[in-house]
């Protein structure tokens, strides 16, 4: 079986993972120094957020050169060594591909600016003499004007001009970029904004418009989303990947609600996997979660693709905080909504066991394994996310889930590096450092290490089927072959646990009963 059908994949937000050169920004050297930690955590692969040359207007999702590594992260040679070192640690490497837009510093855009209206260079982007009513996903208009009066489209920041995917140069260039990184040994690509590359011809106005703070998903049938022609791009790319054997993988960032439309991206000749945002967004509610799980498995079964289970990433409010809120469903970053973090951590521990026990692959966003909460009280002047600026501060943006990791020690920067950290860490994170948690068998980190090991080595979870057990309202219970059960208690009271030998529990069982907001894995037969 191919590895990606049931892999545990760790997301490395490089700027905030570990700093090797003391400039306060995470980098490849820092990541390399912590590969042992990731191997011992028990994950199978890393997804590394963009490390390409970039002005960093959007944390590296504004790429100026897709074949170079940004100096703040290291060099191309270091990236090549990192890939090899990760492989020696038994870790595959997935890099981030950003095909919807470039940076405004990319040579093509600079050429387009110089060449002027009507020039072939402008045809690689969406230049027009007027605008339509589209809004940027980061807030504000999706159009900016250049000196000669023309406008260009940017679905995100004005520094991220959208590429024109009808242009043959764009198609050829990205196939060449795929090969460039495949030739350097990467095991796959995470595809940014995968449903929006192709726009409806003529760029017609939208019917539904958001105002102020954008939500995460608009309707599926907007003129800049889920156009049927996008599938041809992925069929072409799959052919390129296929030349490198069956072990290279695509994972799509696809915010498409409709399960049938979503599944189309996962047909056997397109992408292998996609993030499960329906699961990420779901409230801590047994009925809602069960419905999402059923729908996920049914949808993926239609195309033979493995599901993925995702709780957090670098764009959303950390789930410890979300699960500590009265309304724990996620639609947008609701800053300032109170959260009971102790409750959030209990639920996050249970959710980790749920996500790792379900059929398919699982993602861990850096810091999930430490139980980190969202950070809200960052000084405005240090916030870097363009969302903050473009919404006039209405949405504080995503910096609060990107605060550098606490590794060791009693004071910030907690061994993140020797030169501070680009965003300040809360002093109370001294309780949450990796070093401290390693010494505590009851910590979130110890739970992740145990669960990931059991998932891989003992219970052989991952791909395959599952059957729901009847455990009453508010309880999610299912079994998997051979002889495994997972029970998650989402009621307010402790419950009896079905017969079996406990393998991992997110909270201590008292008198054989499972507390509220806890989960347990059981060996039910030999
Ligand atoms: C999705 C990425 O995850 C996010 O961080 C980025 O800002 C946008 N795409 C635009 O590239």
Which burial class, exposed, middle or buried, applies to 276 when counting CB atoms under 10 A from its CB (0-12, 13-18, 19+)? buried
Q: Which of 267, 257, 188 is nearest to 232 (CA)?
A: 267
395 is catalytic: no
pTM above 0.85, yes or no: yes
Judge whether residue 526 has pLDDT over 80: no
Query: CA dist 96 to 12, 47, 268, 481, Å?
Result: 11, 7, 21, 34
Using CA atoms, how far residue 81 sits from 70, 85, 127, 186, in Å, is: 15, 6, 40, 11
**Which is the catalytic residue, given 243, 260, 440, 501?**
243
How long a stretch of residues is the chain? Answer: 526
Closest Cα to atom 10 of ligand 1: 61
Ligand 1 neighbour 27 (Cβ under 6 A): no
Confidence class for position 335, pLDDT limits 50, 70, 90: confident
Q: Among 315, 333, 388, which is best to mutate for testing ligand 1, by the most ligand atoms less than 8 A from CB?
A: 315
pLDDT band with cut points at 50, 70 and 90 for residue 455: very high
Residue nearest to atom 6 of ligand 1 (CA): 61
**Percentage of the chain lying above the pLDDT 70 cut:** 98
Q: How far is the CA of 193 from the centre of ligand 1 (A)?
A: 7
pLDDT at 214: 64
Residue 434 and residue 368 in contact, taking contact as beta carbons nearer than 8 Å: no
From the alpha carbon of 62, which atom of ligand 1 is closest? Answer: 11
pLDDT recorded at residue 211: 58
Q: Give the angle 193-11-359 at the CA atoms, nearest 5°.
A: 90
The stretch 207-228 carries a mean pLDDT of 79
- Indicate which atom in ligand 1 lies nearest the CA of residue 398: 5
Distance from residue 61's CA to the centre of ligand 1 (Å): 6
Checking if the pLDDT of 73 tops 70, the result is: yes
> What pLDDT is attached to residue 453?
97
- Of 393, 396, 398, 391, whose CA–CA distance to 212 is shortest? 391
- Interval 378-392 mean pLDDT: 96
Residue 243 a catalytic site member: yes
Pocket-testing residue among 16, 47, 52, 61, ligand 1, by greatest number of atoms within 8 A of Cβ: 61
**pLDDT number for residue 384:** 98
Rounded CA-CA distance 205/187 in Å is 39
Residues 6+ apart with CB under 8 A from 402: 13, 15, 16, 59, 314, 385, 423
pLDDT, residue 197, reads: 98
């Amino acid at each position: 079986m191919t590895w990606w059908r049931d892999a545990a994949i760790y997301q490395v937000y490089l700027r905030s993972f570990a700093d090797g050169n003391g400039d306060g920004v995470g980098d490849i050297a820092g990541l390399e120094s912590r590969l042992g930690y990731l191997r011992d955590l028990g994950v199978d692969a890393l997804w590394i957020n963009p490390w390409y040359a970039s002005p960093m207007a959007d944390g590296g999702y504004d790429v100026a050169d897709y074949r170079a590594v940004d100096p703040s992260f290291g060099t191309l040679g270091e990236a090549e060594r990192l890939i090899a070192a990760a492989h020696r640690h038994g870790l595959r490497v997935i890099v981030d591909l950003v095909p919807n837009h470039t940076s405004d510093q990319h040579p093509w855009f600079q050429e387009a600016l110089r060449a002027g209206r009507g020039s072939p260079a402008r045809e690689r982007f969406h230049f027009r003499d007027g605008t339509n009513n589209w809004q940027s996903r980061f807030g504000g208009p999706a159009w900016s004007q250049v000196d000669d009066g023309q406008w260009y489209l940017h679905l995100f920041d004005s520094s991220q001009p959208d590429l024109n995917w009808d242009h043959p140069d764009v198609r050829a260039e990205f196939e060449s970029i795929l090969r460039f990184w495949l030739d350097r040994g990467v095991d796959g690509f995470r595809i940014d904004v995968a449903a929006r590359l192709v726009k409806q011809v003529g760029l017609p106005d939208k019917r539904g418009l958001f105002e102020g703070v954008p939500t995460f998903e608009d309707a599926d049938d907007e003129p800049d989303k889920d156009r049927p022609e996008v599938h041809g791009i992925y069929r072409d790319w799959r052919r390129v990947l296929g030349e490198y054997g069956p072990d290279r993988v695509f994972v799509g960032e696809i915010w498409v609600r409709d399960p049938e439309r979503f599944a189309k991206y996962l047909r056997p000749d397109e992408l292998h996997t996609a993030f499960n945002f329906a699961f990420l967004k779901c409230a801590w509610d047994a009925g809602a979660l069960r419905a999402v799980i059923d729908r996920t498995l049914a949808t993926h079964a239609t195309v033979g693709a493995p599901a993925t289970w995702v709780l957090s990433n670098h764009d959303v409010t950390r789930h410890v905080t979300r699960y500590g809120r009265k309304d724990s469903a996620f639609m947008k970053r609701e800053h300032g909504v109170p959260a009971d973090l102790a409750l959030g951590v209990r639920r996050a521990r249970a959710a980790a066991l749920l996500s790792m026990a379900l059929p398919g692959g699982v993602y861990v966003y850096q810091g999930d394994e430490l139980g980190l909460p969202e950070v809200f009280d960052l000084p405005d002047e240090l916030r870097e996310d363009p969302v903050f600026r473009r919404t006039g501060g209405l949405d504080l943006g995503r910096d609060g889930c990107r605060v550098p990791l606490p590794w060791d020690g009693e004071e910030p920067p907690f061994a993140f590096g020797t030169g501070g950290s680009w965003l300040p860490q809360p002093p109370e994170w001294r309780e949450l450092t990796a070093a401290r948690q390693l010494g505590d068998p009851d910590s979130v980190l110890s739970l992740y290490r145990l669960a990931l090991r059991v998932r891989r080595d003992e219970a052989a979870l991952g791909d395959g089927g599952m059957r729901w057990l009847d455990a009453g309202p508010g309880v999610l219970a299912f079994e998997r072959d051979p002889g495994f059960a997972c029970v998650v208690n989402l009621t307010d009271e402790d419950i009896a646990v079905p017969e079996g030998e406990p393998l991992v529990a997110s909270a201590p069982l008292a008198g054989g009963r499972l507390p509220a907001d806890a989960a347990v894995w059981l060996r039910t037969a030999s």
